[in-house]
């Protein structure tokens, strides 16, 4: 069979409102932003060799109250307030693998971030507060292999290994650094099912996140399980409207001197919200896709 390429050029605009900083990784903000990994056609690797480009932008903000200590920058704080803006440029190359059911691709993402954080500190009877911000290139991420399998014209699955490299500038004395100072390995499966008669699309993305130990703070993040689902209804004129529901669940406790003091600093979160998409063709071979969530 031959699955035709969906696009040769894509611009994805993703805007996220405020979500909780609940994943209990060091600093309380890990790699995943719940609800952001799922995309239209998430499980589809095009059947023809194409080069796909995308730009994603999102904002995340939240806080953990002073009733809970948070491990940040090699020490504990009495709560934390943080916000971050990310701009991520991605290039995905779909390789020429013939007309079979399997197709393969690779991708590379260069992120830029602005982060700002403030926290309350306590040393015996002395209490105070501190804050800082940073603006720089963030840790790069790449997928050396994305393997897509086409069950039929309406049912697809994609398997991938996503890797985050600690390439950003990390300073353990700062509350806010454009890096987590860890390698992160994320095996992921994405599934897409189309219902042409109803103009509906179901996309599901599940992943496991494995972190290396932060050598600067001796902090080990526990693995995370992520699951994002989206049901999208497409209308005439290229418009789509849908609902996203997602969760991040920590599998086990964090470890290391700070994590042990905080009983593993274990956490989870849920997210739900709408998505609006728009698709249009540009010329004979290219397609532009926009989304707002």
- Residue 17 belongs to some domain of the structure: no
Q: What domain count does the chain have?
A: 1
Whether 16 is in a domain gets the answer no
In a domain? residue 18: no
Torsions phi, psi of 31, nearest 5?
Answer: -70, -40
User: CA distances (Å), 256 to each of 75, 221, 263, in order?
Assistant: 12, 9, 10
Q: Confirm whether 20 is domain-assigned.
A: no
Evaluate whether residue 21 is within a structural domain. no
pLDDT of 16 strictly over 70: no
Question: How many Cα atoms occupy the beta-carbon half-sphere of 95 within 13 Å?
Answer: 13
Strand partners, 247: 227, 270
Which domain CATH number covers 220? 2.40.128
Residue-range definition of the domain harbouring residue 238: 26-292
pLDDT of residue 107: 96
| Residue 157 bridge partners (DSSP) | 149, 191
| SS3 state of residue 29 | coil
- What is the pLDDT at residue 117? 83
Torsion sign across C-alpha atoms 99, 104, 106, 107: positive
Asked if pLDDT for residue 121 goes beyond 80, the answer is no
At 272, list the tokens: 């739900």
| Residue 15 placed within a domain | no
pTM, whole model, 2 decimals? 0.84
19 domain residue, yes or no:
no
Write down the pLDDT at residue 193: 97
List the one residue out of 227, 233, 105, 201 whose CA is nearest residue 158.
105
Question: What Cα–Cα distance (Å) separates residue 104 from each residue in 89, 107, 273?
Answer: 20, 11, 31
- Look at 20 and 145; give whichever has higher pLDDT: 145
The answer to the question of residue 8 being in a domain is no
Per mean pLDDT, which range of 109-113, 196-200, 213-217, 261-265 is the poorest? 261-265
């Amino acid at each position: 069979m031959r699955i035709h390429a969906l696009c040769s050029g894509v611009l994805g605009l993703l805007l996220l409102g405020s979500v909780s900083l609940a994943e209990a990784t060091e600093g309380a903000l890990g790699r995943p932003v719940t609800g952001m990994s799922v995309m239209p056609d998430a499980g589809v690797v095009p059947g023809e060799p194409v080069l796909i480009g995308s730009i994603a932008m999102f904002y995340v903000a939240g806080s953990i109250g002073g009733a809970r200590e948070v491990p940040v920058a090699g020490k504990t704080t009495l709560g934390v307030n943080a916000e971050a803006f990310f701009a991520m440029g991605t290039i995905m190359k779909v390789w020429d693998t013939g007309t079979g059911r399997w197709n393969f691709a690779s991708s590379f993402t260069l992120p830029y971030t602005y982060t700002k954080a403030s926290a309350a500190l306590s040393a015996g009877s002395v209490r105070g507060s501190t804050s800082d911000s940073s603006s720089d290139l963030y840790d790069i991420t790449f997928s050396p292999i994305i393997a897509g399998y086409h069950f039929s014209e309406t049912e697809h699955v994609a398997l991938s290994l996503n890797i985050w490299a600690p390439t950003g500038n990390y300073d353990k004395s700062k509350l806010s650094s454009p890096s987590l100072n860890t390698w992160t390995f994320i095996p992921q499966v994405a599934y897409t099912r189309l219902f042409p008669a109803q103009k509906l699309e179901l996309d599901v993305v599940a992943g496991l996140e494995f972190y290396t130990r932060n050598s600067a703070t001796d902090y080990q993040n526990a693995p995370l399980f992520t699951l994002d689902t989206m049901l999208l209804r497409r209308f005439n004129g290229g418009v789509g409207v849908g609902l996203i529901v997602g969760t991040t669940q920590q599998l086990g406790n964090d470890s290391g001197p700070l994590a042990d003091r905080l009983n593993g600093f274990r956490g989870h979160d849920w997210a739900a919200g709408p998505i609006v998409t728009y698709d249009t063709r540009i010329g004979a071979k290219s397609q532009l896709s926009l989304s707002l969530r």
